[in-house]
């Protein structure tokens, strides 16, 4: 069985969750490779603030859609994907601050 995965066909909230996780992981890896580079810490902190704001606004929008639609299984999955980035971001921040 062959699947053709198209990132562009995913809902925006799913794309955002995947992109937020990927960029956060990339910044953490950069920090681990170059632990003395203060600019990476500044970029990482700025990214954390910006990603938190954008993900929170998207989460509020998906929760709003959840209250309006009858078929909510897909929306629950989207909400869980967005919420799954919270403990990951906390873990990454802990690693970066204690590295």
Please check the confidence at residue 75 and state whether its pLDDT lies above 90. Answer: yes
- Average confidence (pLDDT) over 19-37: 96
The pTM score is: 0.87
Alpha helices in 1-72 (DSSP H): 12-33, 38-68
Q: What is the rounded average pLDDT for all residues in the chain?
A: 92
Is-contact 44 28, C-beta < 8 A? Answer: yes
Cβ-proximal residues to 24 (8 Å cutoff; 6+ apart), any chain: 47, 48, 51, 85, 88, 89, 92
Cβ-proximal residues to 88 (8 Å cutoff; 6+ apart), any chain: 21, 24
Model pLDDT for residues 79-98, shown as the tens digit of each residue = 999 999 999 999 999 999 99
Model pLDDT for residues 31-57, shown as the tens digit of each residue = 999 999 999 999 999 999 999 999 999
């Amino acid at each position: 069985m062959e699947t053709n995965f198209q990132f562009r066909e995913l809902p925006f909230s799913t794309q955002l969750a995947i992109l937020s996780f990927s960029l956060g992981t990339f910044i953490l890896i950069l920090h681990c490779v170059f632990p003395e580079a203060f600019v990476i810490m500044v970029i990482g902190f700025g990214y954390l603030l910006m990603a938190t704001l954008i993900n929170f606004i998207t989460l509020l929008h998906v929760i709003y859609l959840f209250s309006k639609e009858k078929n909510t299984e897909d929306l629950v999955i989207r909400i869980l994907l967005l919420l799954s980035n919270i403990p990951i971001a906390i873990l990454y921040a802990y690693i970066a601050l204690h590295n």
